[in-house]
Amino acid sequence: MLFIPIAALLTHASAGGPLKFWQVATRAIALSAYEVTFVTALITAAINGIFGTLVAWVLVRYRFPGKRFFDAVVDLPFALPTAVAGLTLATVYSENGWIGGLLAPLGIKIAFSRWGVAVAMLFISLPFVIRTVQPVLTEMEKDVEEAAWSLGASHWQTFWRVILPPLLPAILTGVALGFSRAVGEFGSIVIISSNTPFRDLIAPVLVFQSLEQYDYEAATTIGTVMLLVSLCILFVINFLQAWGRRYAQR
Which residues have C-beta within 8 Å of that of residue 21, sequence separation ≥ 6?
13, 14, 221, 224
Average pLDDT over residues 25-35: 94
**pLDDT over 80 (residue 42):** yes
Say how many residues make up the chain.
250
| Sign of the C-alpha dihedral computed for residues 2, 6, 237 and 204 taken in this order | negative
162 in Cβ contact with 148 (< 8 Å): yes
Whether the predicted model's global pTM rises above the 0.85 cut: yes
User: Which pLDDT does position 70 carry in this prediction?
Assistant: 92
Terminal Cα-to-Cα distance of the chain (whole angstroms): 39
Q: Note the CATH architecture for domain 17-249.
A: Orthogonal Bundle (1.10)
In this predicted structure, the answer to whether residue 116 has a pLDDT above a threshold of 70 is: yes
pLDDT score recorded for residue 11: 86
Of the candidates 111, 125, 110, 115, the residue with the CA atom closest to the CA atom of residue 184: 125
Residues 56 and 129 sit within 8 Å (Cβ to Cβ): yes
What is the C-alpha separation between 245 and 250, in angstroms, rounded?
Answer: 9
- The residue extents of the domains of the chain are 17-249
Contacts of 156 (CB under 8 A, 6+ apart): none
Q: What value does the mean pLDDT take over residues 108-120?
A: 93
pLDDT of residue 244: 67
- Write down the mean pLDDT value for the chain: 88
Alpha-carbon distance values, 226 to 34, 46, 153, 172, 208 (Å): 9, 20, 46, 21, 13
**Torsion angle of the four alpha carbons 126, 131, 134, 139, in this order, in degrees rounded to the nearest 10:** -160
Are residues 128 and 174 in contact, defined by beta-carbon separation less than 8 angstroms?
yes
